[in-house]
Amino acid sequence: MFKLALHEKTAKLTCEPKIIYKVVQNMKVRKIVKEDIDLLIKIRMEYLFAEKGVYSSEEVQDIRTKLEEYFTQHLNKGFIAIIAENENEVLATAFMSIVERPPIIAFSSYLVGTVYNVFTYPQHRGKGIATKVMTELLSEAKLLGVAAVDLNATEKGKPLYENLGFRASNYTSMYKVL
């Protein structure tokens, strides 16, 4: 995985990347709202199954309960989700958690977004949908005053993010389970 970051001072979010989009009939890109929490849970569960594999029925129920609590508490209050959908199905999604960090010289208010769960369903890949979803997510972040955005990218996803203005960070992404 690559650690990529987008900073307000080095990239503009106002122009859409130069990518040719294939037409997707009746596609709509929108922000998830409170009434969509059940859909959001379904999307997150499908992503987890696709990326991490099968879980036991007890784990599934535990994750669903925790997701409902999390989304109810945080949706559009530090967590945003964007989906692309047509009349009867979700095509792609992207999530962002936003936190406030101590100010630095370049930013007097330092809200930072972390992007994750960028996922296009396999039958809809290669049509530019993830680019549209990410562009909308970044626009929403900018409206909220987010100064910088980071993410971890797979090798396959790296070109998408680079086309959106993300650049590899000088820091190695690391984590430790506590």
Contact 19, 128 (CB under 8 A): yes
Report how far residue 21's alpha carbon sits from residue 18's, in angstroms, rounded to the nearest whole number: 9
Q: What is the pLDDT of residues 118-175, one digit of tens each?
A: 999 999 999 999 999 999 999 999 999 998 899 998 899 999 999 999 998 888 788 8
pLDDT at residue 28 tops 50: yes
Report how far residue 9's alpha carbon sits from residue 6's, in angstroms, rounded to the nearest whole number: 9
The domains found in the chain, sorted by start residue, are 2-32+78-168 (3.40.630.30)
Give the model's pLDDT for residue 170: 85
pLDDT at residue 16 tops 70: no
Region 43-58: what's the mean pLDDT?
A: 85
Phi-psi category of 103—alpha, beta or left, where left has phi over 0 and alpha has psi -120 to 50? beta
Higher pLDDT, 147 or 11: 147
pLDDT at residue 17 tops 60: no
Residue 50 structure tokens: 């696709």
pLDDT at residue 20 tops 50: no
pLDDT at residue 9 tops 90: no
Q: What is the pLDDT of residues 74-98, one digit of tens each?
A: 999 999 999 999 988 999 999 999 9
